[in-house]
Amino acid sequence: MKKKISITTSCWNERENIPLFYERCLKVMAEFPQYDVEFVISDNLSTDGTRDVLRELAAKDPRVKVIFNANNFGHIRSPYNAFLNATGDAVVIMCSDLQEPPEVIRDFLKKWEEGYKVVAGVRSGTDNHGITEVFRNIYYWLLEKLAENLGSLPGVPAD
């Protein structure tokens, strides 16, 4: 049985981006025929037609699961909800607005195949300055510390 990769995202008013996101992810996953793929998309009460696009996508591809939230749960809880509904052996969390190119999935999967339990991308070369830069650096520092100590967390294998 093939292992499954879950690609998760959340969206709010991303009617134009969702088809591009989906197609670009599919193109990357075509390079990894040894895996099955599922998409778990959590919609935050979009009002621009995104929900119709998602319904059409799910109707044509049974690998697409859509969660239609009753409220806008924001950029933290909504992706977490998608993550909780993923059934894959590995979960990739992406932004549907294409801030991160779906092509990075290729690099993530290669690292996962090397045995890494957690793979995270670091955005570089941004135009962030001032307080945004400070918070971004704190976030990446915390992410690094979490990764270093992942084996000491309850329920996470130490290897």
pLDDT tens, residue by residue, 32-76:
999 999 999 999 999 999 999 999 999 999 999 999 999 999 888
pTM for this entry: 0.80
Instruction: Tell me if 64 is assigned to some domain.
Output: yes
- The residue range of the domain holding 49 is 3-98
Residue 21 and residue 98 in contact, taking contact as beta carbons nearer than 8 Å: yes
86 falls within a domain: yes
3-state secondary structure the chain: CCEEEEEEEEECCCCCHHHHHHHHHHHHHCCCCCEEEEEEEEECCCCCCHHHHHHHHHHHCCCEEEEECCCCCHHHHHHHHHHHCCCCCEEEECCCCCCCCCCHHHHHHHHHHCCCCCCCCCCCCCCCCCHHHHHHHHHHHHHHHHHHCHHHCCCCCCC
* 108-135 pLDDT tens trace: 999 999 998 888 776 666 566 677 667 6
CATH number at residue 75: 3.90.550.10
Structure tokens at 37: 């793929």
Domain count, the chain: 1
